[in-house]
């Protein structure tokens, strides 16, 4: 993982809480959508960086995957249930986007954790 990513999302003490992220997605609006992207982009980047390191995704596709996942997050924002942790839902969106990416590239998931992406979101949240 690059040092920039490590500082921005793994070790950063100023990262937004699940409650703060939940509030941004529930409120909607252009300003909040921009703030949400700024908040989740490092998290999505870290997730996809791990997929690159595991050989499941290509480094040159990383930025596109982040944007695709954020677009999916925005499309499905109404399905977010504030009773569940936002980050768990975000990872479900990221896994789903990864599954679509692998399907488009005729790749097959090599990790059993990716099989969770084919389950319903409620089942995934129970597994987390």
Q: Which domains does the chain have, with CATH numbers?
A: 3-9+17-127 (1.10.1740)
pLDDT at 2: 52
pLDDT at 11: 52
- pTM tops 0.75: no
For residue 26, what pLDDT band results from cuts at 50, 70 and 90? confident
Which residue from 32, 12, 34 is spatially nearest to 22, judged by alpha carbons? Answer: 32
For residue 47, what pLDDT band results from cuts at 50, 70 and 90? very high
User: By percentage, how much of the chain surpasses pLDDT 90?
Assistant: 45
Average pLDDT over residues 5-29: 67
């Amino acid at each position: 993982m690059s040092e920039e990513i490590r500082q921005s999302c793994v070790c950063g003490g100023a990262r937004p809480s699940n409650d703060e992220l939940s509030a941004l997605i529930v409120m909607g609006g252009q300003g909040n959508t921009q703030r949400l992207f700024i908040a989740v982009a490092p998290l999505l980047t870290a997730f996809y960086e791990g997929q690159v390191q595991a050989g499941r995704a290509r480094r040159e596709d990383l930025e596109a995957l982040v944007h695709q996942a954020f677009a999916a997050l925005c499309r499905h924002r109404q399905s977010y249930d504030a009773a569940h942790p936002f980050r768990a839902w975000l990872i479900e969106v990221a896994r789903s986007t990864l599954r679509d990416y692998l399907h488009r590239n005729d790749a097959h998931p090599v990790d059993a954790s990716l099989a969770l992406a084919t389950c319903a979101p409620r089942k995934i949240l129970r597994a987390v």
